[in-house]
Amino acid sequence: MSLDRFKLDGRFALVTGSSQGIGNAIARGLAEAGATVVLNGRDRAKLDKALGALRDAGLKVHARAFDVSQPAEVTAAVDSIEQEIGPIDILVNNAGINRRMPTEDFPDEMWREVIATNLDSAFFVAKAVGRHMIRRKRGSIINICSVMSELGRPTIVPYAASKGGVKMLTKGLAADWGKHGIRVNGIGPGYFKTPLNEPLIKDQAFSAWVASRTPLGRWGELDELVGAAVFLASDASSFVTGHILYVDGGMTATV
Ligand code: GCO
C-alpha cells in the first residue's frame, strides 16, 4: 500500500527549536505519522508547555532543553537521547531566529548570533546525530531553509546569508553521507504565520505585499508544512537527497 511508505511508526525524531512555530508544527506532524519525537528548545518553560500539549493529544513525545549553538551541549544531549530514548532516525534542524535592520546598522554581535543559531547549529547537530546514523547506515536529515535561501530582502541580510548557508550545508551533507545511506534534504518555507513573523503580520502593508507577491495569494498556515516534512522523513522519499522543497505558495518560482 503506497500510503504505508509515509508511516513513521517505530522511528525516533529530534526536532530542534520545536517549542513553537514551524518546529512545533513539524514535531506534531511527525508524531501524528507515528514517530516518537524529541522536542528541543532553550526555554525550559516554553518546552514543558509544548511537551504537555502534545502529550495531551496522545502523542509519543519527550523534551530536551539544550542550546543547539553550543557543540559540547549538542554532543552530550544527542548521546543522551540515543541512550535514554532511542536511535535518532530523523533529524529536523529547525532552530532559527531573525533580526531585521539595515546592514549598515547591524551590530557585529547580532550577526554572530544569527549565524550561530541558524547555521552553526545545523552543522553541530547534524554532525552529532550523523555519527550515530553512519553506524546504522540509515537516516533522514531535514534542514529548514527559507525562500531567503534563494532571494534577498532588505533589512534581513544576515538571516538570508544564514539560510543560503543552510541550503548549501544540505547539498554538501547529501554528497558526503549518501554512501552511508543517509538522506539530507531541505524544506524552504515561504511566509507563514509564526511568532518569528509577528511584527510582519501586524504590518498591514507588508502583509498585503506578501499576498500580492505569492501566486497562491496568501500567507501559509503552519499545518501546510507537515506533508513535506513527513514525505522527506519517510520511506516515501527513499531516493530523494540534496533536494530543497519550497513550500512557499509559488513565491520562488515567480517575479
Ligand atoms: C522576513 C521573514 C522571512 C520569512 C521566512 C521565509 O523578515 O522577511 O521573517 O524571512 O519568515 O524566512 O522563508
CA–CA distance, 6 with 201 (Å, rounded to integer) = 33
Q: What is the pLDDT of residues 131-145, one digit of tens each?
A: 999 999 999 999 999
101 lines ligand 1 (CB under 6 A): no
Q: State yes or no: is 191 an active-site residue.
A: no
Q: What is the pLDDT of residues 186-195, one digit of tens each?
A: 999 999 999 8
- Cα dihedral across residues 200, 204, 206, 211: positive or negative: positive
Q: By alpha-carbon position, which residue is closest to atom 6 of ligand 1?
A: 190
Prediction pTM value: 0.98
Residues in the chain: 255
Q: By alpha-carbon position, which residue is closest to atom 2 of ligand 1?
A: 197
In DSSP notation, 8-75 reads -TT-EEEETT-SSHHHHHHHHHHHHTT-EEEEEES-HHHHHHHHHHHHHTT--EEEEE--TT-HHHHH
List residues bridging with 3 in a β-sheet: none
Can you give the pLDDT at residue 119? 98
Question: Residues 66, 159, 219, 246: which is the catalytic one?
Answer: 159
Q: By alpha-carbon position, which residue is closest to atom 12 of ligand 1?
A: 146
Q: Under CATH, which architecture does the 2-193+222-249 domain have? A: 3-Layer(aba) Sandwich (3.40)
Q: What is the pLDDT of residues 152-183, one digit of tens each?
A: 999 999 999 999 999 999 999 999 999 999 99
Please report, for the chain, the start and end positions of each structural domain, with discontinuous segments joined by +. 2-193+222-249
189 lines ligand 1 (CB under 6 A): yes
147 lines ligand 1 (CB under 6 A): yes
pLDDT of 130 > 90? The answer is yes
